[in-house]
Every structure is written in C-alpha cells, then in structure tokens.
Homo-oligomer: A and B are copies of this chain.
C-alpha cells in the first residue's frame, strides 16, 4: 500500500474512534450512528466483568453481541441514558490491511457513575477495543468492535 495512503487511513481511523468516544460521553446518537457501518457488530460482553473475579457487576447488560448499527446505537444510548460516563482512548495500534480494510487495538479506560437508585455506585474499567474498520463512500467506519478487559473496579452504593 502507498505509505501516504496508509498514514491518512490511520489518522482518519483515530479520529473515527475519537468521535465514537465523544458520541458516547456526550450522548450524541447521530454522531454515534455515523461511526458504524450499517452491518456493524458490537461485542461488549464482559464489559462489566472483572476478569480477576469473573463476576458480572451488571447482570442482564452486555451479555450478547449486538448486530447492526441501529441496534448498537439504541443499546448504547439506553445504557448511558441515566449515567455519567467518561471513555478515553490511548495510543492505538492500527494496521491497514487494504484500501478499505483495517484493524485496530485501542487501549481504553472508562468511568461510569450510576444513578442514585442503583445498587452499584460506580464502575471503573480498563481494557482494549479490538476492532475492524471498513472504508465506505463517506469514510472509514467501525465494522466490528469487541471490548476485552484488564480490570473492572466496582464501587457499591452505601
């Protein structure tokens, strides 16, 4: 692949992922929709499970792979509606496979504060997004997203 084209793709994918984070944290459904391919899949299984204990702190949530951008956006927006969230991405590893395909590993931290009536007060998590990207007519999109966890700290409500 042309070296300049590769760098352009990497920068555009970084900004794509930055828009994903900003869309989730500012609860911007239209912006979030714009970062996914229509047929995208999102695998947030384990997002609320500390890999050290294996305990899922938020049963019922994030237990299945979500298929399709519309379903992903609806699911994320429902999840974050009553929360204050921060999601940040760190120095990523993005590999461009072809003019229209790329893979990425994105280190991440998130910090969720739950609503007052929740048994859980807060969830602080660290891990990596493992993603594939596809270039469409209007730019790079996330085609597949999977979140793996290094640790999840749960703070119970008093």
Residues on A facing B (Cβ under 8 Å)? 3-4, 7-8, 10-11, 14-15, 17-19, 21-22, 25-26, 52, 84-86, 88-94, 105-107, 109, 111, 113, 126, 128, 150-151
Contacting residue for A15 out of B17, B26, B90, B93, CB 8 A:
B93
18 sampled A-B residue pairs with Cβ under 8 A? A4-B4, A4-B7, A15-B91, A15-B92, A15-B93, A18-B92, A18-B105, A19-B93, A21-B107, A22-B93, A26-B150, A85-B150, A88-B91, A88-B107, A89-B90, A89-B91, A90-B90, A111-B126
Contacting residue for A18 out of B8, B91, B126, CB 8 A:
B91
Distance in angstroms between the alpha carbons of A11 and B104 in the assembled complex: 14
Question: Are B21 and A90 in contact (CB-based, < 8 A)?
Answer: yes
Question: Are A150 and B109 in contact (CB-based, < 8 A)?
Answer: no
CB distance from A103 to the nearest CB of B (A): 12
Copies of this chain per assembly: 3
Distance in angstroms between the alpha carbons of A15 and B111 in the assembled complex: 25
Contact (A150, B7) CB under 8 Å given A22-B93, A22-B107 = no
Question: Are B113 and A151 in contact (CB-based, < 8 A)?
Answer: yes
Question: Are A11 and B7 in contact (CB-based, < 8 A)?
Answer: yes
